[in-house]
Structure formats: C-alpha cells, structure tokens
Amino acid sequence: MSDDSISIVRRCVTLDRTSKVPLYRQLYRDLRRAILSSQLLPAMRLPATRPLADELDLSRNTVQSAFDQLKDEGYLDSHVGSGTYVSQEVPDDLNRVRGQTHLRRSVRPTAPQRLGPPDESQLSERGKCLTDLQLSFFRAGKQPRAFQPGLPALDAFPLDTWSRLTSRRWRSVPGASLGYRQTAGYPALREALSEYLHNSRGVHCSPEQVIIVSGTQQAITLAAHVLLDPGDRVWIEDPGYPRATGAFQWAGAETIPTPLDAEGLDLEAAHARGADARLAYVTPSHQYPLGMTMSLSRRLELLTWAERSDAWILEDDYESEYRYEGRPIAALQGLDNAGRVIYAGSFSKVLFPALRLGYLVVPQALVGPFRAAKSLIARSPPLAPQMIVTDFMTEGHFARHLRRMRTLYADRQSALVEALEETVSDLLTVHSEKAGLHLTAFFRQSWSGRAVSAALQDQDIVAPPLSFYAAESLDRDGLVLGYGAASKDDIRKGVHVLKQTLLKRQP
C-alpha cells in the first residue's frame, strides 16, 4: 500500500479525542462524508487497517469497526486477498437515481430537493448529537427467524383472550372517557401495577408514584431531561444499552462508560472515571447484554453512593419476569430508603412491543416534576390499551401468561445452548444465565463481530455483534443471540447457518 492512499485518507479524517462520540463512529462519519463528497473516489483502494491505525494513532479494532460499518451500509467493498475499496455505487447515489426516476414520472417540484444527509449547520447541538448515534444494528426490510434480541414469542400470545377483552372494553367505554386523560395514566392501571410490582418485584410505591409512558425509551428520555443538566456526567454500563446512552447524550449529558465484573457495574472504576457523576444507569436484575445479576453488596454500595453524592439511580428492569431457576431477584428500588432510585419497566417483552406501554416509578418528591415533564413530551398513552392491560392483569390472564412464557423461554434457551455446544463449541463460548430472552456467545478467534453479523443478516439471521453495545474496545467480540421469538427448528437452522458463516471466515 502506497503512502499516498494513507495521506489521502488522513486528510479526510478529523478526530476529537475529547468528544463523547466513540472514535470508531467519528472515523466512520468522516470516511462516509469523504466518499459522499468525492474526496474518496469510487473504486479507490483504501489502506489496510493496521497501517491506517498506526497513522491515526488508533487501535486496529477501532479502524476495523469503522470499516465494517461502512461495508454493512454499502460504502465499501472488501475483496479477499485484494483489499478494501470504495464502492462503485454508494447507497446515496442509488437513492438519488431512484429519486430522479420517480421525478421523470411525476410533476417536478418548483424548488430543488436536498438529497442525502443534512448539513450539520442546519441542526441544533442536540440534532448534531443524533447524527452520530447508531441506535440499531438491524437491517430494515428483513423478517428474521433468529436470533433477534428483545423480541418475545408473539406466536404464543393469547390473542383470543386479548381480542375478547378489547371488544368488551370498546362496547363499554363511556363517551366521557374519549377526551384528554390524566397525564400520569389510567388510574386503575397504575393501581394494578403498584400492587403487582410490590408483590413480584419488591418495589415500594403508591399508585401516585406510577407514571404510564410509551415504553422504556420514553421513560429513560424523560428521566434524562428531568434529572440532568447539560454537562452532567452519567455512569453507563459498558457494554450496555445503546438507546440509553443516546437518550443521555441527547439531553446534553456526558456518558462515562464503566466496565463490568461478575457482580455488575464496577463501582471502583466508575469512581475513578467520574466521581462527580449525577446519575447511574443500571440493569441490575439481568445486565444488558451480558446477563449477570448485580450482587446485594454491590447494590447496597451503589445506593450508599447515590445518597451521599445527592445523585440518582435509573433502574431499567427490562425483563426481570423471566428467571428460570428460583424466584425473580427483587428490584434495587425496594432497597432504597433515601428516594434516589427511579424504576423503569415495560410491557414490550411480557406482552408485545407494538402495545407501546411502559411505566416509571418515581420517588414521591419527583412526582410533580415528572408529571409536568410528561405533559410536555406527550400526554398519556391511548386510554383503551391501558384499560385492556388493566383487565388482563386484574382478571388473572397476565399471571397465567407469564407462567406459560417462563416455561416456553426456558425450553428455548436450553435448545439454543444445546445446539451451540453441539455445533459450534470449537468456535464460540456461551455465556448463559438462567434468565432473560437472549444470551451472549464469545468468539474463540479474532473475528469482527460486525462483519460476521452483516454476513448473517444476508441470510435473514439477526445476531448483533457484542461490540455494537460497547463504547470502548472489547478484549473479545461475540454475538448477542435472542431466542424468545425463535422456534426450536429456527434455532437449529440458525445455528447451522452461524457455523457455516464462521467457518468461511477462518484464516
């Protein structure tokens, strides 16, 4: 590789090592812009990752992650034994051709249309933040059979019962209920949730402290804007939930990636990296995505820190209902005697995602501010679904459904673990907790998770790379494998495809 190609790429890249945006995302962004602006021309061969990493003073994994993302989106092509090249037809060119074809068949607009990404000068600081966030690794337009994380067994949902409750509710809804409703949500649902969370999760709250929201994402975004000022620092688990990181950064906060150990968030590392943090975001019951449970001693230590530091803890209890050995682990909120924990939950995984219902439990002192903020972001979610969920819970259908799903998911998890151990144990090691709807598989070789994941998506298999969830470079990459929505047959077929994909990438 000539020095010219390295110098050409070097001129296209400007890295800000003080930025909250990961370096691989900055490199991806700058190379993408260079391709779209024709600074890097079609069919141009790019430098190899190692010399480019040396030139930019980056790790090779950082450069590889940026290249993998550009390949996944069609900006780069890779040829074994030949190298990596700028694609002959980048995605934005294809969109432009399609747009021009459409215009020839219809009335031309009177003003020119802006194509491609917006100029950042048009955006607010919050808008600029959003252009650098990658919130999903799923490719649009696919209908995966396996192994999409976070998706429940929709085929096992009791639609007949739900339809009957829906029909009954709509026949009996009084006209007066069709106007604007309470911002905090349907009172009967908040009461049912308060009782359920107390009995099943050990949460201490009154119905007044429960606020109905449109899913966990709105809960996190609401908490970020109520509790944080621009520049405030937030401890986040690393690897962790990217959409939480995005919500905090969108609120102007500085996220502090914090490593994990067998007991959960490493508080010693957290203090060393940001002792003045204003909030800690944690998934203590089943860490996302690695799956460990935060120990009691670590929970107590975290609560002590929040009280002494006048800080907050946002507890995301995203799938605590699914534990297949012993009783569910009690919520962190139930140990909180100082009113420092904000508790978030959702019906997406216990019922179905399209319902778009979740909830917050906030300390008594925050009820007023959270309700006011909620009224500005959005009024209460639609009333009818809240009523139907209330009936589903109070008439015993919810408890029966959870019992059936625990049995089903435990069986599917066992099937996945068995298939992986029998088929790819020489290629992957499996980290499995007896809980949740996904597990993590680590590569035994130095494969790129992004490249493997992209190859799997070409075969209708969704298995996000572990590196997608990480803000910092990982010692070992792998895949996050969901099994909630996959039948045993799909699991076996998916593992076979996984094996063939990995074998093709062996050195």
**pLDDT tens, residue by residue, 50-77:** 899 888 989 888 888 888 888 877 889 8
How many Å apart are CA 418 and CA 292, to the nearest integer?
Answer: 20
| The two three-digit tokens of residue 247, written as one number | 């919500």
CA–CA separation, 498 vs 507, rounded Å?
Answer: 16
Nearest CA among 241, 29, 14 for reference residue 128: 29
Pick from 76, 380, 361: nearest CA to 213: 380
Beta carbons of 406 and 204 less than 8 angstroms apart: no
Paired with 84 in beta bridges are 78
**Domains (range + CATH), the chain:** 1-132 (1.10.10.10), 159-395 (3.40.640.10), 400-504 (3.90.1150.10)
Residue 177 to residue 240: CA distance in whole angstroms: 40
| SS3 assignment, position 151 | coil
* pTM recorded for the entire structure: 0.77
pLDDT at residue 99, rounded to an integer:
40
pLDDT given for residue 295 in this prediction: 94
Taking only the tens place, the pLDDT of each residue in 372-416 is 999 988 777 888 999 999 999 999 999 999 999 999 999 999 999
User: Long-range pairs for 15-18 at CB < 8 Å and ≥24 separation?
Assistant: 15/56, 15/58
| pLDDT at site 42 | 87
Sequence-separated (6 or more) residues with CB below 8 Å from residue 305: 267, 271, 280, 311
Residues for the chain: how many in total?
507
SS3 content of the chain, % helix, strand, coil (to 5): 50, 15, 40
- 347 prior amide bond cis, ω within 30: no
Per-residue pLDDT, 149:
92
Strands annotated E in 200-241: 210-213, 233-237
Residue reference for tokens 């209902």: 321
Note the pLDDT of residue 484. 95
Q: What pLDDT does 101 receive?
A: 37
Residue 188 CB coordination number (10 Å) = 16
Cα end-to-end span (Å), the chain: 21
Distance CA 489, CA 496 (A): 11
Nearest CA to 63 out of 479, 452, 450, 476 is that of: 450
Taking the CA atoms of 303, 307, 309 and 311 in sequence, report the sign of the dihedral they define: positive
CA angle 56, 506, 146 (to 5 degrees): 95
Residues contacting 266, CB < 8 A, separation 6+: 258, 259, 260
Render each residue's pLDDT in the chain as its tens digit; 507 residues: 456 788 889 889 989 888 767 888 889 889 988 898 888 988 888 999 889 988 898 988 888 888 888 887 788 988 767 789 898 776 654 444 334 434 333 344 444 344 445 555 566 666 666 655 566 666 544 565 689 998 999 999 999 999 999 999 888 776 656 655 678 999 999 999 999 999 999 999 999 999 999 999 999 999 999 999 999 999 999 999 999 999 999 999 999 999 999 999 999 999 999 999 999 999 999 999 999 999 999 999 999 999 999 999 999 999 889 998 877 778 999 999 999 999 999 999 999 999 999 999 999 999 999 999 999 887 778 889 999 999 999 999 999 999 999 999 999 999 999 999 999 999 999 987 889 999 999 999 989 898 999 899 888 899 999 999 998 878 899 999 999 999 999 999 999 999 999 999 876
